Amino acid sequence: MLLIYSETITPRLQYITHLLFTELYGAGVTLTDRKDEVLSASGPVINYSGEEMPVGLQVRPSGLLAGKEVFEINVPLGTTGDLPCLFPDPEGPFPFDVFSACFYMVTRYEEYLSTKKDKVGRYKLSESIAKTGDFYHLPVVNLWAAALVSRLLEQYPSTELKPRTYQYVPTIDIDHAFAFRCRPFWRTMAGIGRSISHAHMSNVSDRLMVLTGFRKDPFDTYDYFLSYYKKLKLVPWVFMLYADYGGHDNNVKLRCPAFRDLLARLGEESRIGMHPSIASAHSVRRLEREYNGLSAATSREITGSRQHFLKFSFPNTFRRLISLGITDDFSMGFSGEPGFRAGIATPFRYFDLFRDEIMPLTIHPVTIMDVVFRDHLHLSPENSIARMKQLIDTVRSVNGECVTLWHNESFTGKGRWEGWNRVFEETTAYAADITT
């Protein structure tokens, strides 16, 4: 049992010490504000105060965890060894306030107050301190925790720890269940008209062949990826957009028999989660309708979610998901660059800063997303494989959870996705640590 002394014990301190020591390293933690308990302790002690004591590893607090207010702060950047850090304390016993640094990153403190958004309404990577400090590519929270534990073991070598183990979680987003099937007549005619106006007659031919049953819909790649996951004995999460047509939300007709059959199949061969529409961000009723509709269509309890376009805001998005009964969210990532948005490669409980409370929702950071490499970084399949494997190795090195995100559209093997099935197969097997 690890004893941590602090002059003030707050929900913020309770949250981050539990995350770093209990969830990452399997160690029990007790917080105390009594000095006599510290001085009489027989086990490992951390002194989280500005007062020197004859026992314990001292970490001097910066003040972030002492209160519950949320306000604009100028977070200082520094380095410790080869690692960047926040709230540096170069003259202190420990080189930075590791608890405040980790809390600031995993709670996404900076996102609560930011008003600068991209064209879709999302928080921009360019605004993140991880981008400013050039450490977005590192799971700094895991690395900071490891540095703290290393120092603790130097002082208390008999401390018992049970670090978590590496895990792989494959996921699929379905924004468009079919390219041509299950579309309203007016959308089919509009699509044909667009193809003719751009002289894309092969597209017209493909559409008609699919609609007359002579060819498989190009986005109907379910046999391919489900059979590959089954071969590797993996059960993926599949996040389905179940929303009315409009704007960025343009899936198929919800009552189409082929779509209903697909939902039934996915319910048998995967874990189905919701993929809340962009429109639902502005309507609680619409979000509830999507949740209830998907649950009824699959005859299953929906507990997982990923936001469409990875669009979310603090704290409203997560409060609404919790109210529906969602227990696991897989939206924590940026759409334009691979890395660690919350600075961590491990699932963590959501902490609502405005309520100053740990919430019943686990957030799973996204490690790899297909469109980031193909459409934003413009990498070739070969270079994407190499980059993805580097990220997988990084997550594995900190015993994290590797979450990969693919789309059913990415497995067509044609156009911009030519050669990408090999990327999927090779990196999936690598992440699962399976030789095929």
Model confidence pLDDT, tens digit, residues 113-124: 998 999 999 999
**Measured distance CA(49)–CA(40) in Å, rounded:** 17
Residues 364 and 290 in one domain: yes
Residue 196 has pLDDT above 90, yes or no: no
**Local confidence band at 250 (pLDDT 50, 70, 90 cut-offs):** confident
**Measured distance CA(250)–CA(244) in Å, rounded:** 7
Lowest mean pLDDT: which of 200-209, 221-230, 296-305?
A: 200-209
211 in a structural domain? no
CB atoms within 10 A of CB 369: 25
**Local confidence band at 214 (pLDDT 50, 70, 90 cut-offs):** low
**Mean pLDDT in residue range 349-370:** 98
Strands 167-174 and 45-47: unpaired
Q: What average pLDDT is seen over the chain? A: 93
196 in a structural domain? no
**Mean pLDDT in residue range 253-268:** 94
User: What pLDDT is recorded for position 195?
Assistant: 58
Provide the domain count of the chain: 2
Residues 143 and 289 in one domain: no
**Local confidence band at 185 (pLDDT 50, 70, 90 cut-offs):** very low
Residues 233 and 258 in one domain: yes
**Measured distance CA(173)–CA(388) in Å, rounded:** 18
**Measured distance CA(44)–CA(41) in Å, rounded:** 8
- Which tokens is 228 given? 């590959």
Lowest mean pLDDT: which of 9-13, 202-206, 235-239, 328-332?
A: 202-206
Residue 396 has pLDDT above 90, yes or no: yes
331 in a structural domain? yes
**Local confidence band at 179 (pLDDT 50, 70, 90 cut-offs):** confident
Task: List the domain range (segments joined by +) for residue 314.
Answer: 167-179+217-431
**Mean pLDDT in residue range 21-48:** 96
Residues 172 and 99 in one domain: no
Please, what's the largest Cα pairwise distance for the chain?
82
Per residue in 154-175, pLDDT tens?
999 999 999 999 999 999 999 9
Instruction: Quote the percentage of the chain above a pLDDT of 90.
Output: 87
Residues 172 and 272 in one domain: yes
* CA distances for 354 relative to 65, 68, 92, 112, 314, angstroms: 14, 8, 31, 9, 9
397 in a structural domain? yes
Residue 365 has pLDDT above 50, yes or no: yes
Domain containing residue 249: CATH number: 3.20.20.370
211 touches 181 (CB < 8 A):
yes
Lay out the sheet containing 167-174: strands in order across: 348-352, 357-363, 328-329, 304-305, 271-274, 237-240, 167-174, 401-407, 368-369
Residues 149 and 225 in one domain: no
CB atoms within 10 A of CB 346: 25
Residues 172 and 72 in one domain: no
Residues 114 and 172 in one domain: no
Reported in sequence order, the residue ranges of 336-419 that DSSP labels E, i.e. its strands, are: 348-352, 357-363, 368-369, 401-407
Residue 208 has pLDDT above 80, yes or no: no
Residue 127 has pLDDT above 60, yes or no: yes
**Mean pLDDT in residue range 174-192:** 71
184 in a structural domain? no
Residues 123 and 172 in one domain: no
**Measured distance CA(33)–CA(45) in Å, rounded:** 12
132 in a structural domain? yes
**Measured distance CA(347)–CA(24) in Å, rounded:** 10
User: What pLDDT is recorded for position 238?
Assistant: 98
Residues 133 and 174 in one domain: no
**Local confidence band at 137 (pLDDT 50, 70, 90 cut-offs):** very high
Residues 127 and 175 in one domain: no
Residue 330 has pLDDT above 80, yes or no: yes
**Mean pLDDT in residue range 13-23:** 98
192 in a structural domain? no
Residues 150 and 172 in one domain: no
Per residue in 57-107, pLDDT tens?
999 999 999 999 999 999 999 999 999 999 999 999 999 999 999 999 999
194 in a structural domain? no
